[in-house]
């Protein structure tokens, strides 16, 4: 979610499908933001619910200089 809206695969965002990591039972997912603009900076949230329980993560995308963007992950 970003700005209370669900993020979907489109020209702006690419959601990299979850993958099963064989060494431990874990799933991963990624988000690519194309052509980052000022209004893309802020907090993104990920909510997961499945048979194992629920999980929540929040990340903050911040502008630090003209050519760099930083992503901070916290739970």
End-to-end Cα distance, the chain: 15
In angstroms, the CA 62 to CA 70 distance is 5
- pTM here is 0.69
Give pLDDT, residue 55.
86
Residue 48: how many other CB atoms lie within 10 Å: 13
Domain ranges of the chain: 13-74
pLDDT for position 73: 55
**What's the rounded Cα separation, in Å, for the pair 51 and 2?**
25
Residues of the chain predicted below pLDDT 50: 75
Contact 57, 46 (CB under 8 A): yes
């Amino acid at each position: 979610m970003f700005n209370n809206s669900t993020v979907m695969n489109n020209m702006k965002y690419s959601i990299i499908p979850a993958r099963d990591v064989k060494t431990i039972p874990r799933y991963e997912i990624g988000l690519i933001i194309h052509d980052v603009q000022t209004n893309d900076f802020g907090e993104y949230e990920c909510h997961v619910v499945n048979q194992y329980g629920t999980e929540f993560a929040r990340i903050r995308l911040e502008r630090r200089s003209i050519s760099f963007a930083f992503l901070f992950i916290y739970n």
